[in-house]
Chains A and B, each alone.
Chain A
């Protein structure tokens, strides 16, 4: 039986925005949007914060922002001078050089400044659990500390993620966080596996942005909410719009077919699907578009059937006969193939008018284009 997932997101979107040089005002607007979702922290790489003009003492930012630093005293002191109270120390494990003196000194320095100190093992997935357990002692200092399992090279798959993190979770004296990367398209699945294993904190970014990419925040949230039926189902009601706004602040357009938030993920063209949707949307949709703030669209194109054409014309208060619909369908397929894309409403209307003019259509006298009065 699946454990109940209780987790919070550690955002990676803002850090990518800062890397891209997004203006401070836009970053602040992004943060306001992201705060609608279950955020534990927003990660900021120290070098990305140097040119930022955002006051940390407003809107609860100080409790939300977490600075990621190298295990260097200079970096840690600089993070402290900016006002960060949450610090994540990046560390690369080297089995041949097991000395943790440098790391220990860095963590001690960080603890002198920050209320929360995390140890982020960037290459954790390169090693088995046994190897990682040597960090038990060094992290077991106080309740606020956290161990971050990082899959920097994207070499993890969900079953190993579950197994290793479940074991590690039981052995580590502190909370665990999972930070997946997405070179191979598995970050969302790995992050969900970590949540399934009981990990309470998960790194993610809107649309998975980042270098290398991360788990997509919207995919993680909606899988747990809509697929696993855990959490508040109304959480996603404005998700697509919020994600679009967040990415727009970064100068990024959402890919039309991006799972959960793409503008076209509820577009239906093929005859079988349009017919099915008309009978019962659940036939070809895992969830209602409204659940993420999107809407359903019927596209007329090469794969359309007569049912879609009839439906479209009915919307225009015209009842197409079967013969007329078949004739139009043939023309639609020809046009869609030659222009390599969907047939617009205007094109469809022109086809209909031409057919009527040639006397090939039914008697449609006095029929006006439904859009005419609105233009």
Chain B
């Protein structure tokens, strides 16, 4: 595996908070952002401004923090959502559209052409405000890969920074992931960010496979919290990269316990004593 050009995007405050029944307070969000920034995380997906005025107040408070990390606002590719993010003060805007036919047909009740046109319109809107865009491809792992490339091409033509390849229902294993990214990366003009879910317990391994296949970015959450069985764990990915592959991500291993404690306290749910790196018995086992 290469030893540089590997970047992590933390989405604890966005996808992590979307774990059913979890809600962070403003203070917790601020502390988590500061801890992520101090730990060396360069990209933080902070939340969804379209959720309402109260949420926008919290997000504005995050934007005012003295940090180096870039804060990203997550949006459906809907004009009012994007405008809410711009009005909130974000300059790095994530817009997401589904790319699988299953989602396009059953959720959006649209077609592929509509998806490409909507993406182009939202990217023009973001660009017209002088902001950067990151493009999310929801359910990419179940999409037609040729259509995904067309989608990426539209994103590239409109100046997007990168393409998020979302394994929305966590239906990849590391070998499938490697094959997909190996096929996609050389043909895609944008850097690929992988977003893995843990429905089969494979999110961390899939994320590592992406870096082995030529992907440059991956999104993770502290303690692996997220919808259903969660996301790739920041702690597991950073430690595995360091211990197994000798790759330093720029994120300090020593900063992780403080961050983990903040997130665990904020979600206030028991962690299995056997959970890798975090469980109480794992500390014993490592001594």
Contact = CB atoms under 8 A, between A and B. Distances in A.
Interface in B176-211: 178, 198-202, 204-206, 208-209
Given A303-B18, A342-B21, A258 B106 contact: no
A2 B178 CA distance: 14
Interface string A169-211: 0000000000000111110111011001000000000011111
A343 B188 CA distance: 43
Given A157-B205, A184-B204, A213-B282, A280 B271 contact: no
Nearest to B174: A158
A301 B21 contact: yes
Interface in A210-243: 210-213, 216, 219, 222-223, 226-228
Which of B55, B212, B243, B274 is most buried by chain A, counting CB atoms within 10 A of its CB?
A: B274
A127 interface: no
B20 A268 contact: yes
A209 B169 CA distance: 25
B19 interface: yes
Given A213-B282, A257-B229, A280-B106, A192 B239 contact: no
Contact of A286 (B24, B199, B212, B281): B199
Tell me the dominant secondary structure on chain B's binding face. Answer: loop
B20 A269 contact: yes
B200 A340 contact: no
B60 interface: no
B168 A284 contact: yes
A283 B243 CA distance: 36
Given A259-B229, A265-B228, A337-B25, A227 B200 contact: yes
B25 A155 contact: no
25 contacts: A183-B285, A184-B243, A186-B208, A188-B200, A189-B202, A210-B274, A211-B284, A223-B200, A252-B272, A259-B198, A259-B229, A260-B200, A262-B229, A272-B76, A273-B18, A276-B103, A279-B106, A279-B107, A283-B107, A284-B168, A303-B17, A333-B54, A337-B25, A340-B24, A340-B25
Interface of A: 2, 155-159, 162, 182-186, 188-190, 192-193, 196, 207-213, 216, 219, 222-223, 226-228, 252-253, 255-260, 262, 264-270, 272-273, 275-276, 279-280, 282-287, 297, 299, 301-303, 330, 333-334, 336-337, 339-342
Given A259-B198, A268-B20, A272-B76, 15 more contacts: A158-B205, A186-B205, A189-B201, A219-B201, A257-B229, A258-B272, A262-B229, A269-B19, A284-B227, A286-B199, A299-B21, A333-B54, A339-B23, A340-B23, A342-B20
